[in-house]
A and B are shown apart, each in its own frame.
Chain A
Amino acid sequence: MRRLFDVSLGLATALLLAFLVLPLVAIFTRLSPLELFAQLGDPVAVDALLVSLETSLVAHAFILLVGTPAAYLLATRRFRGRPLVLTLIELPLVLPPAVAGIALLSAFGASGLLGGALDVLGVSVALTPAAVVLAVVLVASPFYVRQAVASFEAVDRNLLDASRTLGVGPFTTFRRVALPLAGRGLGAGSTLAFARGLGEFGATIMFAGSIQGRTQTLPLAIYAQLGRDFDVALAVGALLVLVSLVVLLVAKLVPSWSDFTSIWPFRSVRSASS
Chain B
Amino acid sequence: MFAAASLADVLPAVESSASFNFAGSDTLAAQLRAGAKADVYAAASSTYPEQLLAEGLLEEPRVFATNRLVLIVPRANPAGIEVVTDLVRPGIRLVLGAEGVPVGDYAREALERLEATRALENVVSEEDSVSGVVAKVALGDADAGFVYATDVKPVEDEVAVIELPSSAQPEIRYLIAVVAGADHPDEARAFVERVLSDEGRRALSAAGFGLP
Contacts and interface: CB of A to CB of B under 8 A. Distances in A.
Interface in A199-237: 205, 208-212, 214-216, 223-224, 226-228, 230
B98 A127 contact: no
Instruction: State the majority secondary structure of interface residues on A.
Output: loop
Contacts of A224: 98, 126, 128
B123 interface: yes
Interface string B133-144: 000100111100
A228 B132 CA distance: 18
Interface residues of A, number: 25
Contacts, number: 68
A223 B140 contact: no
Contact of A124 (B26, B127, B141): B141
Nearest to A226: B30
Nearest to B140: A110
A181 to B, nearest CB: 45
A105 interface: yes
Nearest to B30: A227
Interface residues of B, number: 24
Contacts of B132: 205, 209
A215 B140 contact: no
B126 A211 contact: yes
Contacts of A178: none
A109 interface: yes
B139 A209 contact: no
A223 B123 CA distance: 18
Interface string A76-120: 000000000000000000000000000001000111100100000
Given A128-B124, A224-B98, 18 more contacts: A110-B140, A111-B140, A124-B93, A126-B139, A127-B95, A127-B136, A127-B141, A127-B142, A205-B132, A208-B125, A211-B126, A212-B126, A215-B125, A226-B30, A227-B24, A227-B100, A228-B98, A228-B100
